[in-house]
Amino acid sequence: MNLSDKKATLSFSDGSPSIQLPVYKGTIGPDVIDIRKLYGQTGMFTYDPGFMSTAACESAITYIDGDKGELLYRGYPIEQIAHKCDYLDTCYLLLYGELPTKEQSQGFHKRILTHTMINEQMLSFLRGFRRDAHPMAVLTGMVGALSAFYHADINDATQRDIAAIQLIAKMPTLVAVAHKYGVGEPYMYPQNNHSYAGNFLHMMFATPCEDYKVNPVLERALDRIFILHADHEQNASTSTVRLCGSSGTNPFAAIAAGVACLWGPAHGGANEACLNMLTSIQKMGGVAKVGEFIDKVKDKNSGVRLMGFGHRVYKNYDPRAKLMQETCNEVLSDLGLEKDPLFALAKQLEKIALEDDYFVQRKLYPNVDFYSGIVQRAIGIPVNLFTGIFALARTVGWIAQLNEMLADPEYKIGRPRQLYTGAPRHNIG
Ligand code: CMC
C-alpha cells in the first residue's frame, strides 16, 4: 500500500492525547485512514454499520466511481469490455489481471469449456429437493455440495486456480439442471462445441426430442448479461465470500455463502423483484397507473420501493443499466417484441422517476437490474431463475476476490467488533 504524505490526527474533547493515523493512497478513489492501531492506542472501536465509510480490504480488481457512474474491471471501462470482449476473456481479465493474448484466450476457453460436466452423483443429490423449491435454494445447496465432490486446499494457489476453473465451468450446468428439475424435463448434458453462453442456452432450452439451434442474438445478450454482472468490488455477496473464506474454509463453501447473500431483494434478488413489480403494475392497469405507483413509492409508510432503482455506490446512472438497455432493444427487436408492454412500462417508470424530485434529490437512478429482467424474460428464462443467472455470472468475481485475499500474506480472519448495549453483568435469582 502507498503511504500518503498526509496523516490523520484524531483528537478528543476530554483531553485524552490525540493520535496520528497513517493515510494510504489508492490509484484512484478516496484515500483511506488506517485505524488498525486505534483500539490499542485509545481503547475505542469505530462504528460503521452497513460499511458506509469503511474500506474492508485492499483490492486491484474492480473500481467504481459512483458519482461519475463509472465501472472499471482491472482499469478497463465496462463499456469497452462489453463491446470488445466476451465473458470468458472478461473472466481471464478478472482472475489474472490482464486481458489474454489470442493463444491465452483460446487456452482459457478450452479449459473452461472442457470442464462443464458435473459429477453424475450430484444429480441424485439434486433429486432430494422439492420440485417447487426456489432455484436459489437449490443453487445454494448445490454449490456448497461441490465441496463434497471436488476437493480444494484453499492454501494451495494451484488448487485455488483449479477450483476457479471448475466453478466458472460448472455454474451454468448447475443453474440449468436446477431449472430442468423444477420443470420436470430431462437434463441436457453440456455440448462443448458451443460458446459459454450458447452452451447455457442449449442446456436450458434444448430437449432430447428435437434439434436446438442457438440464436446468436440471444447468445450475445446472455454473454453481455454475464459480463455486466461479473464483478462489482466489495458488494454484500463478495464481502460475504471474503469473510467466509477468511476462516480458511473450502472455496466452494465460501462461494455458496455468496450465492446465499446474493438471493436477497436488496442485492441480486432485485431483478426478480423488479420484474414482479412491473407485472403487478401491468395488472393494475399498466402505464396509466405509473403515477399512482410512484406516489406509493414516495410514501414512506407504504414500504414499497422502486425495484431496480438506487444503489449504495452509484449516485448517477449505473453504466451497466445503459448497456443493458442497449441489449434490451436488440433482443426485443430480434424477437419482434418492440411493443412489449413491460418494456414500455419500464421506460415510462424510468422517465417519470428521473424527473421526480424525490428521486432527483436522493440521486436514485436505474441500476443494472432495471432492464436485465426484461431481457431475461424475453430470452425465455423463468423469473425465479433471474438471480441464479446473476450468481452464475458473479462467480468469477467472487473467486477472483477470494483468491486475491488468500494470496495476500497479511490477510487475517475477518472479525468485526460491536457496541454492546445489552444488559450489564447480573446474577440469576
Ligand atoms: N425506491 C424508493 N426509495 C428509495 C429507493 C428505491 N429503490 N432506494 C433508496 N431509496 C430512498 C430511501 O428510502 C432513502 O430515503 P430517505 O433518505 O428519505 O430515508 C434514500 O433513498 C437512501 O436509501 P438507502 O436505503 O439508505 O440507501 P442504501 O444505499 O442503503 O440502499 C439499495 C441501496 C440498492 C439497497 C436501495 O437503493 C434499494 O433498496 N433499491 C431497490 C433494490 C435494488 O434495485 N437493488 C439492486 C441493487 S443493484 C444490483 C446489485 O449490485 O446487487
CA-closest candidate to residue 195, choices 103, 95, 92, 87: 87
pLDDT band at 203 (very low <50, low <70, confident <90, very high): very high
- Residue 343: predicted pLDDT: 85
Ligand 1: which residue has its CA nearest to atom 49? 267
CB atoms within 10 A of CB 133: 17
Query: What is the best residue among 362, 372, 376 to mutate for testing ligand 1's pocket, by most ligand atoms within 8 Å of CB?
Result: 362
Residues 344 and 341: their CA atoms lie apart, in Å, by: 5
Q: Determine which residue's CA is closest to atom 4 belonging to ligand 1.
A: 305
- Please tell me if the CB atom of residue 367 comes closer than 6 angstroms to any atom of ligand 1: yes
Going from the Cα of 260 to the center of ligand 1, the distance in angstroms, rounded, reads 20
Res. 339: pLDDT tops 90? no
Question: Which band of pLDDT confidence, cut at 50, 70 and 90, is reported for residue 152?
Answer: confident
User: The cell 454475464 sits on which residue?
Assistant: 226
Grid coordinates of 360: 432527483
Residue 312 Cβ < 6 Å to ligand 1: yes
- Any residues with CB less than 8 A from the CB of 106 and at least 6 apart, and which? none
222 secondary structure, DSSP code: H
Nearest CA to ligand 1 atom 28: 312
User: At the topology level of CATH, where does 2-55 sit?
Assistant: Rubrerythrin, domain 2 (2.20.28)
pLDDT at position 114: 96
Given CA atoms 25, 412, 267, 306 in this order, what sign does their dihedral have? negative
> Residue 109: its pLDDT value, please?
98
Tens-digit pLDDT profile for residues 280-303: 999 999 999 999 999 999 999 999
For the chain, state the CA radius of gyration: 23
Our mutation pick for probing the ligand 1 site, out of 234, 277, 305, 360, counting the most ligand atoms within 8 A of Cβ, is: 305
The percentage of residues in the chain with a pLDDT greater than 90, rounded to a whole number, is: 87
Q: Say how many Å lie between the CA of residue 302 and the centre of ligand 1.
A: 15
What does the pLDDT read at residue 154?
A: 83
With beta carbons less than 8 A apart as the criterion, state whether 181 and 127 touch. yes
CB of 229 shorter than 6 A to ligand 1? no
Which ligand 1 atom lies nearest to the CA of residue 362? 21
Work out the mean pLDDT of the chain and round it to a whole number: 95
Q: Is pLDDT at 335 greater than 90 in this prediction?
A: yes
312 CA closest ligand 1 atom index: 29
360: Cβ below 6 Å to ligand 1? no
Give pLDDT, residue 409.
Answer: 87
Ligand 1 neighbour 297 (Cβ under 6 A):
yes
C-alpha cell recorded at residue 181: 428439475
> How high is the pLDDT of residue 235?
97
Q: Are 357 and 295 in contact (CB under 8 A)?
A: no
Q: What pLDDT is recorded for position 282? A: 93
Instruction: Please state, for a pLDDT cut of 70, what percent of the chain lies above it.
Output: 100
Q: Kindly list the domain boundaries of the chain, sorted by start residue.
A: 2-55, 60-412
Residues labelled catalytic: 311, 369
Domain 60-412 has CATH 3.40.50.12780: no
